Chain A
Amino acid sequence: MDITSLKAWEMKEKIIKKEISCKEVIQAHIKKIEEEDSEINAFISLNKEEALRKSEKIDEKIKKGEGIGLLSGLPIGIKDNIASKDLKTTCGSKMLDKYISPFNATVVEKIINNDGIIIGKTNMDEFALGDSTETSYFGPTKNPINKNVVPGGSSGGSAAAVAANMVALSLGTDTGGSVRQPASFCGIVGIKPSYGMISRYGVIPMADTLDHVGVFGRDVRDATLILDSLKGYDKKDSTSSKMSNSEAFSIVFEEDKGRNYLDGMKVAIPREYIDLVPADKKVQEQFDKAIKVFEKSGAKIEIVSIPHLKYAAEVYYIIMSCEVSSNMARYDGIAFGHRAEEYETLDELYINSRTEAFGKEAKTRILAGTYALTGSKNAELYQKAMKVRRLLKEDYDKVFASHDVVLSLSSKELPFELNSIKKTSIESYKLNMYSAPANLAGLCAMSIPIGEVDGLPVGMEITGDRFKDRTIIKAGIGYERAVL
C-alpha cells in the first residue's frame, strides 16, 4: 500500500487505529517529496527533521492513549505567505527571501494545536499576484497531472503538493480565486470559506477586503477536515467573525451516511456566464454533465441573472490593485525585506530596494493601484468600483434569498502551458470573472473536480451565501456521492 495515495481522512483513521504509525506516514511523504519535487517544485522550504520529530511525539501520544487533535499527525503544506515561526516566509519574492517570521499565524498555531505536521512551505506567485505560480522568485511549479502545464495560482504549490501526494492537506490563500482555480487545474478540492471564517492574523496581506485563507484536499471530506481545524473567531484579526464559531462542518459526514443532499436543493446558474464568456465547448460539456448529476439527484435547477457579474473582473482588478499598492508600501527595506546595497539618501534606499526586489507583475499592480487611488481617479475608479461591488453583492443576496447554491465552472480555461503568454495579458485578468465575485461579496465557494478534457482536469465552482459554508459542503458531498 502506498500510504501517500490515501485520502487524509483514511490516513487519519489508520493512524488512530494504529494500523500505520504517524512516523511511517511522514517518512512516506518525505520520500515522495525527495522523488518528485525536484521536477514539480511545489515547495520553497522543507521542515523534514522537525516533522519527523513531531511524528514520533504523536505516535507516543497515541500509544499512551492520550487525546489526539483533529489533524492527528497528518502531513500538511502551508503557502509561503503564511507566517511560520523559525521557518522562512518568502511570499515567493526576492523581497522576503531571507525573512523569518518571529511569530506564527493563527492558522499555523491551530494546525500545531490540532496535531497536524507541517512538512514545508509551498510555492506561490510573488505576493500571490498571479494565476499560474510562474511569477515566483523561486521558479515555476509544474502541474503533477501534466508537467507541461501550470498548476494554476497563486496557491499553485499547495495544490500541486496535494495532487502529487506530497502532503495530505494544504493551506492556500484566495483573493480572487487563488485556491479554487489551482484546485480546478490540479484535479482536487479547494474551499474558500466565507469572509471572516478563518483568521488572517499572520497572513501577509495582499488585498485586505478580499483576502481569505482557503484549504486543499483530495475530496470534500478531506478539505472539510482541515477547514474544521482552522475556523473560528480570532480577536487578533479585526475582520474575523463570531459567525465562524459554528458547529464543525464534518458533522455532515457523521449524520446520515449516504443521504442524498442534492435532493430538493435549489440551484442557480447565472446566465451571464453563458451569454458573455462561453467556455471551450468541451469544457462546457463537462459542466453540463455535472449539472445533469444534480438534476438527476433531485436538485431544482434554475437559470438566474446576476447582472453585475459582467463587471466583476474590472471591479476586482481596481479594488485588488488599490489594496495591493497600499499593502506593498510596507516593503521599504528598513525593518525587514530586501535592502539595496547602493543608496545615498533615504529616498534612494526605498526606491532602489523596491525596484530591485519586486517582480514585474508586482510593480504593474502597485502602479495600477497607485494610479487608481491618486487625485480624481480615486472617485472615478476606486470609489466607483466599491459602489459596483455593493450592486454585485445585492445581486447575490437576491439569488440566495431563493436558492441554496450557485453553480459555474471554476475556470472556463483548461490548465495552460507553462511560459504561455496568458499569464500577463489582460485576457487573464478577465478570467477572474469566474472566481472573484465570491471574494467581492464574501461568499463561500468550493472548486470540485467534475471531469477531464484532453487529460486535463475541469472543476466546478459551488458558491453559497455568507456563512452558509455547510450548504456548499453538502452540495459537494452530494455530488461526490452521486458520481462515485
Chain B
Amino acid sequence: MISKDQVLHIANIAKLRITDEELEPFMEKFDQIIEFVDRIREVDTEDVEPLYQVNEDNELLEYNETNQMISRQEALQNTQEQKYGYFKILKVVE
C-alpha cells in the first residue's frame, strides 16, 4: 500500500497538487498500478543489460554547429510575459 505521505512527496517532485478529495481515489488507483507492474519482478534478469535504444546506429552525439532555427521573436511568441526580449519570470534570488 502506498502511503499518503509518499503520494504527496511524489506529487511535490512532479510539481503537481493533489487535493484532499483527489487523494483517496488516487491512492487506490496507484496501488492498482503498482500491483500491475510489480509482476515484472518475477522475470529472471540476471546478467541482462538494460535496452535503452533498439537501433545501434543512433547518433547520440551531435556536431556542435551553430545554426539559427527560429528567431528570438518566434521563440518568445508563446510566452505569457516577456521583457527586453527575454522570458520574464519571478525573482528567485534576493
> Which residues of B are found within 8 Å of A337, using beta-carbon distances?
78
Q: Judge if A475 is at the interface, Cβ distance under 8 Å.
A: no
Whether A388 lies near B59 (C-beta < 8 A) is no
Whether A390 lies near B37 (C-beta < 8 A) is no
Query: Complex: how many Å from CA A343 to CA B69?
Result: 33
Q: A351 and B15 in contact (CB under 8 A), knowing A238-B60, A346-B89, A388-B45?
A: yes
Q: Judge if B13 is at the interface, Cβ distance under 8 Å.
A: yes
Q: Judge if A107 is at the interface, Cβ distance under 8 Å.
A: no
Whether A336 lies near B78 (C-beta < 8 A) is yes
Whether B41 lies near A383 (C-beta < 8 A) is no
Whether A346 lies near B52 (C-beta < 8 A) is no
> Which residues of A are found within 8 Å of B32, using beta-carbon distances?
426
Query: Complex: how many Å from CA A336 to CA B77?
Result: 8
B64-94 to A contact mask, C-beta < 8 Å, 1/0: 0000011100110111110000010110100
Q: Identify which of B53, B89, B90 contacts A209 (C-beta below 8 A).
A: B53
Q: A99 and B51 in contact (CB under 8 A), knowing A318-B37, A363-B16, A391-B45?
A: no
Identify the A interface with B (CB < 8 A).
Answer: 98-100, 102-103, 195-196, 209, 235, 238-239, 241-243, 308, 311, 314-315, 317-318, 325, 332-337, 339, 343, 345-347, 349-352, 354-355, 358, 363-364, 366-368, 370-372, 374, 380-381, 383-391, 393, 424, 426, 429-430, 441-442, 466
Whether A368 lies near B33 (C-beta < 8 A) is yes
Whether A238 lies near B58 (C-beta < 8 A) is yes
Q: Judge if B1 is at the interface, Cβ distance under 8 Å.
A: no
How would you classify the secondary structure of chain A's contact residues: helix, strand, loop or mixed?
A: helix
Whether B52 lies near A370 (C-beta < 8 A) is no
> Which residues of B are found within 8 Å of A430, using beta-carbon distances?
36
Whether B89 lies near A334 (C-beta < 8 A) is yes
Query: Complex: how many Å from CA A174 to CA B46?
Result: 31
Q: A102 and B87 in contact (CB under 8 A), knowing A311-B43, A367-B14?
A: no
A308 to chain B, nearest CB (A): 7
Q: A466 and B55 in contact (CB under 8 A), knowing A102-B70, A103-B70, A335-B79?
A: yes
Q: A366 and B16 in contact (CB under 8 A), knowing A102-B75, A238-B58, A314-B37?
A: yes
Query: Complex: how many Å from CA A332 to CA B14?
Result: 11
Query: Complex: how many Å from CA A368 to CA B59?
Result: 30
Query: Complex: how many Å from CA A388 to CA B40?
Result: 8
Q: Judge if B4 is at the interface, Cβ distance under 8 Å.
A: no
B1-35 to A contact mask, C-beta < 8 Å, 1/0: 00000010011011111000000001001101110
Write 25 A-B pairs (CB below 8 A) sorted by A numbering.
A102-B75, A102-B77, A103-B70, A196-B57, A238-B59, A238-B60, A241-B55, A243-B57, A311-B43, A325-B14, A334-B89, A335-B75, A349-B90, A350-B15, A351-B16, A355-B16, A355-B17, A364-B33, A366-B16, A371-B10, A384-B45, A390-B48, A426-B32, A429-B33, A466-B54
Query: Complex: how many Å from CA A42 to CA B93?
Result: 47
> Which residues of B are found within 8 Å of A388, using beta-carbon distances?
40, 43, 45, 48
Whether B43 lies near A367 (C-beta < 8 A) is no
Whether B75 lies near A393 (C-beta < 8 A) is no
Q: A351 and B54 in contact (CB under 8 A), knowing A100-B77, A311-B43, A371-B10?
A: no
Q: Identify which of A209, A238, A314 contacts B40 (C-beta below 8 A).
A: A314
Whether B40 lies near A195 (C-beta < 8 A) is no
Sample of 17 further A-B pairs with CB below 8 A, known A317-B36, A364-B33, A388-B40:
A103-B69, A243-B55, A317-B37, A335-B78, A343-B90, A354-B15, A364-B26, A364-B29, A366-B14, A368-B33, A370-B10, A370-B14, A380-B41, A381-B37, A389-B51, A391-B48, A442-B55
Query: Complex: how many Å from CA A17 to CA B53?
Result: 45
A248 to chain B, nearest CB (A): 21
Query: Complex: how many Å from CA A339 to CA B17?
Result: 15
B21 to chain A, nearest CB (A): 13
A325 to chain B, nearest CB (A): 6
> Which residues of A are found within 8 Å of B26, using beta-carbon distances?
364, 367
Q: Identify which of B7, B33, B40, B90 contacts A385 (C-beta below 8 A).
A: B40
> Which residues of A are found within 8 Å of B78, using beta-carbon distances?
98-100, 102, 335-337
A414 to chain B, nearest CB (A): 23
Closest to B58 in A: A239
B20 to chain A, nearest CB (A): 14
Whether B90 lies near A196 (C-beta < 8 A) is no
Query: Complex: how many Å from CA A100 to CA B13?
Result: 29
> Which residues of B are found within 8 Å of A354, using beta-carbon distances?
14-16
> Which residues of B are found within 8 Å of A380, using beta-carbon distances?
41
A429 to chain B, nearest CB (A): 7
Whether A390 lies near B14 (C-beta < 8 A) is no
